[in-house]
Amino acid sequence: MKFSANLGFLWTDRPLPDTIRAAKAAGFDAVECHWPYDIPAADTKAALAETGLPMLGLNTRRGNPGENGLAALPGREAEARAIIDEAIAYAVATETSAIHVMAGFASGPEAHETFLDNLRYAHAQTPDSITLVIEPLNRHDAPGYFLRTTDQAAEIIDTLALPRVKLMFDCYHVGRTEGDVTTRLKALLPIIGHVQFASVPDRGAPDHGELDYAHVFAEIATTGWARPLGAEYKPGGPTDETLGWMQTLA
């Protein structure tokens, strides 16, 4: 099993280039991040080249304080597309392979159509080397977020029928909202672009909680999934002290 370090949560006490180096030292196979835009892309690319780690993903900006993305917000299309363009430019410069297009807090038919239109725009602007991923967020952590369930995401992906729009399947979010994690993952496998994980319900390291990740990882392995799984958990202390699961669960 291969793993990617999500640098939005791991080693947050240091700048992004240093977190990439820390992930390499810890034995991760890849990295991913949330919002890298305060760090020049050249600095990030240099750290990736130094370590040999690929960057698997980054997020579009959240928007204004208190927002959680703009892509599904009617009337905010110009802003949404500006941050999509920004994410594409950063991803191209760093050879990042996926962009998480964040939907934001919205609901209803108009929000649905706005999200579709902005995803079509993003798909048209990205090179073939970049996948766009959309991610349902659980109602406990992100009440009011537009994208709530894997069924909703699957319907959007089916409607768009675009080859590089995929599902970000986060075992943590699915576990908190829908349950039946491995069955859902297997059913949705053809449209999944990336898999992430954290303990349920506290979003800590995957060595405790309601989900048995020894079982989850073994079930994922039976599908033939070979890409690194994203460790997007909150360590609750020094990251290096929480990495025992990489030996016990791999």
Which is catalytic among the residues 77, 79, 232, 241? 232
Closest C-alpha among 67, 153, 145, 61 to residue 106? 145
The dihedrals phi and psi of 48, each to the nearest 5 degrees, come to -65, -45
d(CA 30, CA 20) in angstroms, rounded, equals: 9
Q: Are 26 and 246 within 8 A, CB to CB?
A: yes
- Residue 79: active-site member: no
d(CA 225, CA 194) in angstroms, rounded, equals: 10
Which is catalytic among the residues 50, 79, 113, 135? 135
- Residue 219: active-site member: no
The Cα-based distances of 148 to 105, 124, 131 in angstroms read 10, 25, 21
Within 13 Å, how many C-alpha atoms sit on residue 50's CB side? 15
Q: Identify the H or E element spanning 199.
A: none
User: What letter does residue 228 receive in the DSSP assignment?
Assistant: P
The Cα-based distances of 70 to 123, 124, 222, 247 in angstroms read 16, 18, 37, 39
The total number of residues written for the chain in this structure: 250
Q: Are 56 and 80 within 8 A, CB to CB?
A: no
Residues designated catalytic: 135, 232
